[in-house]
Homo-oligomer: A and B are copies of this chain.
């Protein structure tokens, strides 16, 4: 279960109700007209499971992912969060960056006989992904024809799709109306996470419940939050997600892509708009970034995420250290309590400093909760995208760099 609270410093007026209804209707229309496909993924992706159950997953003990951006961030986020409650899940190895040291190190971790390889690219020709795939084919002497240990996830009719057909490699498609950074609940996330041993049906159920509830009109806090973020976007252009759990680190990276790349746009009137996402981890970043939040320019809005029950009972032992007795007051407290009390205290210090914030509490780490929080952030992004009057689902700004790269590397 997710619980939401907000402590926004400026209240949004009720005059906005009609406006918010219009924004809500925009999303409903996008869904009805099948323009934006991710709204239906929680329901539609269950069909992938039928396909996946035909694969002999037990023969693999490693799941290798070759993908970058939207083709890896969501998978990493879910794997990181669910691993502690699924200790028997398979090792996942991620090849993303073109960093030669990482690629070499990752190669040394792979046992060819036990590994399955997912090559994931929406466009089918992402340069990092194809280059690394070639490197793995070469290094492990991978047999391509009828390969049972290689899977492709890509758009229908992409070059990668045609490659897979040519070699009779099992292929999963990303719906054409689902953008890369909104694709984690498509085959992109579902297939490799299933192979790794996660209960992906429960992830989809969590996402489905929240999506249904939202479109029924039962999640108005989301509209209110979108409106607060949008209304204050000029003065408070930085949105911090401060997560109190180490294993939410990859989730915050997924959020950074979703938020930054969806909203950082030239709007339909030619203005540069956008909100800058920052992911922090507590309590660690209380010792790093918090000072700037509290005393620096008031240009930030903070969302605290915490987990009520870590399902871990480790406690601070009742030991008194000579000369450090002043810390004894905390003895016998569980670390679960400590980290949540730190979140609460930091949140309170932020609100007392007059900085707008809200909280999302997961009652525990669960597949259901992860599904829900993913769709929560996707819906929030879509709402703010409508308010900004941008195309939330493209990324034209990254093309120039690609063209320069191809030119410099001598592509004809």
Contact = CB atoms under 8 A, between A and B. Distances in A.
B404 A345 contact: yes
Contact of A137 (B159, B314, B317, B323): B317
A296 B283 contact: no
Contact of A272 (B298, B334, B404): B298
Interface size class of A (residues with CB under 8 A): 35 or more
A345 B265 contact: no
A371 interface: no
A160 interface: yes
A133 B127 CA distance: 46
Contacts of A110: none
Contacts of A290: 261, 397-398, 401
A376 interface: no
A75 B266 CA distance: 41
A265 B324 contact: no
A313 B135 CA distance: 12
Interface string A233-252: 00001100000111100000
A101 to B, nearest CB: 5
A167 interface: yes
Contacts of A281: 97
B274 A297 contact: yes
Given A292-B274, A297-B274, A322 B400 contact: no
A131 B274 contact: no
Contacts of A58: none
Contact of A409 (B245, B322, B329): B329
A202 to B, nearest CB: 20
A99 B395 CA distance: 36
A128 B124 CA distance: 46
A338 B410 CA distance: 12
B411 A317 contact: no
Contacts of A296: 260, 263-265, 272-274, 276
A346 to B, nearest CB: 5
Given A324-B125, A400-B349, A334 B405 contact: no
Interface in A358-403: 395-398, 400-402
A295 interface: yes
